[in-house]
């Protein structure tokens, strides 16, 4: 039974959670999202003391606009790749849409959430999570849906003449409201309230979770954090498919460095947003 260390070979075993494709997509969305927030938020919070400073730091408002568009293309690329993967998964791989390993929400997520609140107050055991927790599903689908809204409205404002050749001018008013609010919502969810907390702040991953960068995590961590998934694989005999020996030392060190860099990146992004938002409220 692969748990921790393979008794025969004496090497550490890891649980492979994310494929290279998904890790690549995460890098893409991570860099592009921060690039978009970096150059867009100063426009939303233009009254903040910091906005002019930040705009000057990236080389002026024209340069900020250029970076924003380049990052938008990268972000749309993530969206197209992920949509393509969904189609491929359903049509070509004929993967199950619902079920225990699925990222599609289920009633268990509702029960898990209630279970977590009970656990917070010490009134019950911690729910036994499947492959994806309810907050991960929220993150995933909020980002996916948000990208449609923010990307669509952004494209309308990037090409206003073309957009209004088909649609009435008030569409641009709606586009600005959507773009601005969706950006604020997404930035708050990712940088402050949900995503960074689950990746860095919750006890199970503190101070940083490297699984999205390396793709693997120690088998015992998986068994502890996703007990239902681990148990399912154990019972159905599919655990061997995802357990492998840990990569060589050099690669492990590389992933630690990447995770460290991502942590610094994350805290920079959160501080940046908080400075822009809170400064006008405080002063």
Partner 1 sequence: MDVRGPYLLSALEKVFTSSGCYRAFVAILSCVAFLLLVPADAVGQGQTADFSGRCLVCHGQEYLGRVAVEGQTKNLYIDPELYEETAHGLLPCNSCHIGFSTDPHSMVSNAESFAEMAREACRNCHDDQYEMYLQSYHGTLTREYAEAPRPAEEKPPVCVDCHGTHAIHKVGGLEYKQNIHLVCGKCHKGSDRTYLDTYHGKAVNLGRQAAATCVDCHGSHSILPPSNPESTLSEANALETCRLCHPKASEGFTTYLVHITPTSPSAPLVVFLVAVFYLALIILVFSFGGVHTLLYIYRGLKDKLYFGKGEH
Contact positions vs partner 1 (CB under 8 A): 42-43, 46, 51-52, 55-56, 60-62, 64-65, 116-117, 119-122, 135, 157, 160-162, 164-170, 172-174, 176-178, 181-182, 184-185, 188-189, 192-194, 197, 201-204, 206, 224
Q: Quick one: 85 or 144, whose CB is closer to partner 1?
A: 144
Joined tokens for residue 42? 């100063």
Distance in Å, CB of 220 to partner 1, minimum: 8
Distance in Å, CB of 1 to partner 1, minimum: 18
Helix axes 170-187, 134-158, angle to 10 degrees: 150
Distance in Å, CB of 11 to partner 1, minimum: 18
Distance in Å, CB of 167 to partner 1, minimum: 6
Q: Quick one: 28 or 157, whose CB is closer to partner 1?
A: 157
What is the DSSP code string of the chain? --SSB-TTT--BEEEE-S-HHHHHHHHHHHHHHHHHHHHHHHHHTTTSHHHHHHHHHTTHHHHHHHHHHHHHHHHHHHHHHHHHHHHIIIIIS---SSSTT-SS--HHHHHHHHHHHHHHTTSSPPP---SS-HHHHHHHHHHHHHHHHHHHHHHHHHSHHHHHHHS-THHHHHHHHHHHHHHHHHHIIIIIISHHIIIIISTTTTT---HHHHSEEEHHHHHHHSHHHHHHHHHHT-HHHHEEEPPPHHHHHHHHHHHHHHHHHHHHHHHHHHHHHHHHHH-
Q: Quick one: 25 or 129, whose CB is closer to partner 1?
A: 129
Distance in Å, CB of 216 to partner 1, minimum: 17
The residue behind tokens 């990222």 is 103
Rounded Cα–Cα distance for residues 261 and 253 (Å): 12
Q: Quick one: 25 or 38, whose CB is closer to partner 1?
A: 38
Q: Quick one: 87 or 166, whose CB is closer to partner 1?
A: 166
59 preceded by a cis bond (ω within 30 of 0): no
Distance in Å, CB of 116 to partner 1, minimum: 8
Q: Quick one: 75 or 187, whose CB is closer to partner 1?
A: 187
Q: Quick one: 190 or 243, whose CB is closer to partner 1?
A: 190
Q: Quick one: 169 or 248, whose CB is closer to partner 1?
A: 169
Distance in Å, CB of 161 to partner 1, minimum: 4
Distance in Å, CB of 28 to partner 1, minimum: 24
Joined tokens for residue 276? 């822009």
């Amino acid at each position: 039974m692969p748990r921790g260390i393979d008794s025969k070979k004496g090497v550490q075993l890891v649980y492979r959670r994310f494929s290279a494709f998904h890790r690549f997509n995460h890098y893409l969305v991570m860099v592009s999202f921060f690039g978009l927030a970096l150059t867009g938020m100063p426009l939303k919070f233009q009254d903040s003391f910091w906005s002019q400073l930040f705009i000057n730091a990236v080389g002026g408002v024209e340069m900020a606009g250029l970076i924003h568009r380049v990052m938008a293309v990268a972000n749309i690329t993530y969206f197209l790749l992920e949509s393509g993967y969904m189609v491929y998964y359903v049509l070509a791989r004929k993967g199950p849409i619902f079920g225990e390993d699925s990222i599609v929400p289920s009633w268990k997520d509702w029960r898990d959430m209630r279970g977590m609140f009970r656990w917070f107050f010490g009134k019950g055991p911690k729910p036994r999570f499947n492959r994806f927790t309810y907050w991960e599903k929220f993150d995933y689908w909020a980002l996916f849906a948000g990208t449609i809204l923010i990307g669509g409205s952004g494209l309308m404002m990037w090409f206003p003449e073309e957009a209004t050749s088909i649609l009435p001018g008030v569409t641009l008013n709606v586009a600005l409201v959507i773009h601005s609010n969706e950006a604020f919502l997404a930035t708050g969810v990712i940088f402050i309230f949900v995503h960074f907390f689950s990746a860095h702040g919750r006890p199970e991953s503190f101070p940083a979770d490297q699984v999205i960068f390396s793709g693997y995590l120690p088998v015992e961590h998986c068994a502890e954090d996703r007990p239902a998934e681990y148990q399912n694989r154990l019972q159905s005999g599919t655990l061997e498919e995802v357990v492998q020996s840990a990569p060589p030392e050099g690669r492990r060190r590389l992933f630690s460095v990447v995770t460290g860099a991502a942590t610094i990146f994350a805290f920079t992004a959160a501080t940046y947003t908080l400075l822009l938002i809170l400064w006008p409220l405080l002063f």
